[in-house]
Chains A and B, each alone.
Chain A
Amino acid sequence: MLTYIIRRILISIPTIVFVSIVVFGLQLLLPGDPALALAGEERDPQLIAELRRIYHLDQPIWRQYLIWVGNVLQGNLGESIRLKMPVGDLVTAKLPVTMQLASMAILIATCVGIPMGIVSAVKKETILDYGANVVALSGISVPSFWLGIMMILLFSVNLGWLPASGFVKPSESLSQNLKTMIMPAFVLSSVTTAIFMRHTRSAMLAVLRSDYVRTARAKGLREPRVIFRHALRNAIIPVVTLGAIQLGELMSGAVLTEQIFTIPGFGKLIVDAVFNRDYAVVQGVVLCTATGFIFLNLCADLIYFLVNPRMRG
């Protein structure tokens, strides 16, 4: 058990090293000179040379990598060349926003997806089951940016119920905060809701066919009791571990959602940074998301391992 956990943690280290190489490789891949991109309309050659020097852009790429890794190991993620702010500060400022968005999306997905999955498994091959399946598949299939635009059109422009964009800190006004976050959270949750529904459904079906549920029924237990006390308890385990992984997926799914609703989170930060060639930000943010993702995967594995000791990973 302990050896498994330790091994699992050790394995994550080379992965993170590769992530750092991948994110740094992006810099090598992307055309366009960050200094030139930064200069924009003010293209003064002397200034551009100066900017290159300040940000070590005139150094060979391997040396830039070593400088960066050295700084990261000391907890310094570098400085955004566009915003002139430490990347660490940007990350700590943006992380809570995206976390809130992702958590709300998970919450919506749980409240909608899991009951839908239960109903469709229990009422298998009825109109309810088909309906739930179509809703779930639509959730996966509708492009999130399209859904977002359509919702803005309906709820903000036509009905005027919700603000079209923007962000209010929960500490300033919780109700305003929820008002601005509910649409993006819903859009972001659409895929996760579908995934939860489908997994709950198939897990429930598997459990409902199992021997002990049959035994429970044979004992004359009433159906709701069988479903909630016996079947659901077992079926929910894979869904919980899935939740941890989904949280990581949502962090990257937030990229487009935040772009549409102009929410100042991770996704918006990173897309802007890619287009502005603000490498320090791209690298810092991807490193953080990837590490978070790896960590959440690790958690999912450990939960699975703890709940279900028969599994050896």
Chain B
Amino acid sequence: MVAVAATEDVLIQRPSAFRRLLRRKGAVVGLVVVVVFVTIALLAPWLAPYDPIATNFLLVRKAPSALHWLGTDEIGRDLASRLIYGARASLQAGVISVMIAIAFGVPLGLLSGYSKGWVDSLMMRIVDAFLACPFLILAIAMAAFLGPSLTNAMIAIGLTQMPIFVRLIRGQVLAVTVEDYVEAARALGNPHLRIAVRHVLPNIVAPVLVQATLAIAQATLAEAALSFLGLGQQPPEPSWGSMLNVARQFISQAPWMAWWPGLAIATVVLAFNLLGDGLRDALDPKEV
């Protein structure tokens, strides 16, 4: 009985939360921008006016014009096309790395919160240790270890973000397991795993979703930072971070090379942050 009530509660909460989300202008703007960028990334081959890796040695570093409306880069490639294709790398980096973080972080968090005792203490100390090391240094080291590539950058970012999720989930588990209905389920003799999946998991969806959106924003920035240091997307394929990295060298002769990728990163990260904020407010009635 109690179990059913709890599930229903979650089910009822969802549509209303979504409606609450839509009432927030910032969140809606964020959502729209994210959808637009996802669409651009998916439809890149149809949207891009040129092949993003086709070079033209006669048109090196040309300012925006009617032919190339965002200009050309250091070896004469169309910047607009590279920006459009670059959306793929940046969004992939953001989304996939966070999925990696969740895939490992959630089970470990559940384990930690649920097992309590020395396993929990040990895991929390390890998490503390990882969180105490500078994020970017860990990511750089990991990316260098795996070898420079977009996939490896995603793995590196995902693994370095994982401890945040472990800690978040553990906190939620600890909070939920003292709730009456979980106590009741346990008293009824439900096995641990069943309790974890049926009762605890649904209650952590909201905070994970919020954290995930914010983490995507961070991961997108981190990919740009790694590419900026030459550890992300590999040439000739474009990513915003690597475009920015190259642009730095031509900042006074060809400033447009730095404007667009920088603006694109800022816009997408801003959108994810707005969305994350909106989600948090919508899912947590206490917040204003």
Asked if B89 is at the interface of the complex by the 8 Å CB criterion, the answer is no
Across the interface, B258 reaches (CB within 8 A) one of A23, A32, A149, A294, namely A149
Is A146 a contact partner of B244 (Cβ separation < 8 A)? yes
Asked if A141 is at the interface of the complex by the 8 Å CB criterion, the answer is yes
Task: Please give the distance in Å from A195's CB to the nearest CB on chain B.
Answer: 12
Across the interface, B126 reaches (CB within 8 A) one of A18, A149, A294, namely A18
Across the interface, B132 reaches (CB within 8 A) one of A11, A202, A290, namely A290
Q: Which residue of B lies closest to A277 (CB)?
A: B144
Is B266 a contact partner of A145 (Cβ separation < 8 A)? no
Is B244 a contact partner of A145 (Cβ separation < 8 A)? yes
Across the interface, B251 reaches (CB within 8 A) one of A153, A255, A271, namely A153
Contacts of A140 in B (CB 8 A): 217, 269-270, 273
Bound CA span A22–B138, Å: 9
Asked if A133 is at the interface of the complex by the 8 Å CB criterion, the answer is yes
Bound CA span A291–B251, Å: 38
- Given known A31-B144, A274-B141, A294-B128, contact A138–B135 (CB-CB < 8 A): no
Contacts of A286 in B (CB 8 A): 133-134, 137
Bound CA span A18–B121, Å: 12
Is B136 a contact partner of A143 (Cβ separation < 8 A)? no
Across the interface, B133 reaches (CB within 8 A) one of A11, A29, A289, namely A289
Sort chain B's interface into a size bin: 35 or more
Across the interface, B141 reaches (CB within 8 A) one of A16, A29, A153, namely A29
Asked if A30 is at the interface of the complex by the 8 Å CB criterion, the answer is yes
Contacts of A19 in B (CB 8 A): 129, 132-133
Q: Which of A222-264 contact B (CB under 8 A)?
A: 251-252, 255-256
Bound CA span A7–B80, Å: 57
Interface centre among B137, B252, B277 (most CB of A within 10 A): B137
Is A23 a contact partner of B144 (Cβ separation < 8 A)? no
Is A18 a contact partner of B251 (Cβ separation < 8 A)? no
Q: Which of A11-34 contact B (CB under 8 A)?
A: 11, 14-16, 18-19, 21-23, 26, 29-32
Stretch at the interface among B58-66, B168-176, B220-228: B220-228
Is B137 a contact partner of A255 (Cβ separation < 8 A)? yes
Asked if A293 is at the interface of the complex by the 8 Å CB criterion, the answer is yes
Bound CA span A29–B137, Å: 13
Main secondary structure of the interface of B (DSSP, over half): helix
Is B265 a contact partner of A143 (Cβ separation < 8 A)? yes
Is A294 a contact partner of B141 (Cβ separation < 8 A)? no
Is A294 a contact partner of B137 (Cβ separation < 8 A)? no
Bound CA span A79–B138, Å: 22
Bound CA span A173–B61, Å: 41
- Given known A141-B217, A146-B266, contact A252–B288 (CB-CB < 8 A): no
Asked if A270 is at the interface of the complex by the 8 Å CB criterion, the answer is yes
Task: Please give the distance in Å from B128's CB to the nearest CB on chain A.
Answer: 4
- Given known A18-B129, A29-B145, A143-B221, contact A255–B134 (CB-CB < 8 A): yes
Task: Please give the distance in Å from A180's CB to the nearest CB on chain B.
Answer: 19
- Given known A286-B133, A286-B137, contact A11–B125 (CB-CB < 8 A): yes
Q: Which residue of B lies closest to A23 (CB)?
A: B133
Is A30 a contact partner of B141 (Cβ separation < 8 A)? yes
Is B125 a contact partner of A18 (Cβ separation < 8 A)? yes
Q: Which of B242-288 contact A (CB under 8 A)?
A: 244, 248, 251-252, 255, 258, 262, 265-267, 269-270, 273-274, 277, 287-288
Bound CA span A196–B137, Å: 25
Q: Which residue of A lies closest to B272 (CB)?
A: A141
Asked if A137 is at the interface of the complex by the 8 Å CB criterion, the answer is yes
Interface centre among B128, B140, B274 (most CB of A within 10 A): B128
Bound CA span A153–B256, Å: 12
Bound CA span A157–B274, Å: 34
Q: Which residue of A lies closest to B225 (CB)?
A: A256
Interface string of A268-295 (1 = CB under 8 A from B): 0011001100000010001001110110
Asked if A61 is at the interface of the complex by the 8 Å CB criterion, the answer is no
Interface string of A134-176 (1 = CB under 8 A from B): 0001101111011001101100010000000000000000000
Q: Which residue of A lies closest to B258 (CB)?
A: A149
Asked if B150 is at the interface of the complex by the 8 Å CB criterion, the answer is no
Bound CA span A22–B133, Å: 9
Q: Which of B132-175 contact A (CB under 8 A)?
A: 132-138, 140-142, 144-145, 147
Asked if A205 is at the interface of the complex by the 8 Å CB criterion, the answer is yes
Is B132 a contact partner of A141 (Cβ separation < 8 A)? no
Is B132 a contact partner of A293 (Cβ separation < 8 A)? yes
Q: Which of B95-152 contact A (CB under 8 A)?
A: 122, 125-126, 128-130, 132-138, 140-142, 144-145, 147
| Given pairs A32-B144, A251-B134, 15 additional interface contacts (CB within 8 A) | A14-B122, A18-B128, A18-B129, A19-B133, A23-B133, A137-B277, A143-B228, A143-B262, A143-B266, A143-B269, A153-B255, A205-B288, A256-B136, A282-B141, A297-B132
Which residues of A approach B to under 8 Å, CB–CB? 11, 14-16, 18-19, 21-23, 26, 29-32, 124, 133, 137-138, 140-143, 145-146, 149-150, 152-153, 157, 202, 205-206, 251-252, 255-256, 270-271, 274-275, 282, 286, 289-291, 293-294, 297
Can you list 15 pairs linking A and B with CB atoms under 8 Å apart?
A11-B125, A15-B128, A26-B141, A30-B141, A137-B274, A142-B265, A143-B224, A146-B258, A149-B248, A153-B252, A251-B134, A271-B229, A274-B137, A286-B134, A289-B132
